[in-house]
Amino acid sequence: MTSAATGRTDGINKWLGLVAASFGLFLASLDITVNVALPDITSDLGTDIRTIQWIIVFYVGSTAGLQLSIGSAADIYGLKRFYLIGLCTYTVAVFLIGLAPTLSLVFGLRVLQAVGNGMLLASVPALVTSMFPREERGRGLGLMSGIATLGLITGALAGGVLVDAFGWRAIFLARVPLGLAA
């Protein structure tokens, strides 16, 4: 329930909202799995390490470059809307990357994935901040950060297992059900 006077979410709903919003950060944090897959991607797509490194550079550069402008737009047009669009964009992108037959397509789709990621990274902290009163905000943001950190840990651990068992495409395709569940 939201208090009309403050715009804050009350009771258990703010904690459920926090977990739901933070799941987007968890999903985005799983992207560390790409690092362990680079040798397999290089081999499968017939390229070299100097070229494949751009998969990381395009992604990180696009995410970082877009965050401020996306954050401003989300403040104007709605944090929840941008979160949901970002989640959908991210999920569609990882699905298509998992099916991409060429390196060029992987590069382009990584930029699309970065747009979705930028939307998640810009909107989630603002959403969490809007859900909690000042005296509880630190707790809410701390829990949000902890959930995102779990994504980094899970991604690092699961990445190697997925690549060894199913190939590099699995690190992208495994995120689709998570994106749909979010």
pLDDT digits (tens, 9 = 90+) for 128-152: 999 999 999 999 999 999 999 999 9
Task: Determine which helix (DSSP H) or strand (DSSP E) holds 38, and give its type and residue range.
Answer: helix 33-44
pLDDT digits (tens, 9 = 90+) for 42-57: 999 999 999 999 999 9
Q: What share of the chain is helix, strand, coil (3-state, %, to 5)?
A: 85, 0, 15
Q: Which residues pair with 2 in a beta bridge?
A: 9
- Answer whether residue 124 shows pLDDT above 50: yes
pTM: 0.89
Residue 65 sits at φ, ψ, to 5 deg, of -65, -25
pLDDT digits (tens, 9 = 90+) for 84-122: 999 999 999 999 999 999 999 999 999 999 999 999 999
Residue 9 sits at φ, ψ, to 5 deg, of -85, 135
Q: Name the class of domain 13-36+54-181.
A: mainly alpha
How far is Cα 56 from Cα 50, in angstroms, rounded to an integer?
Answer: 11
Average per-residue pLDDT for the chain? 91
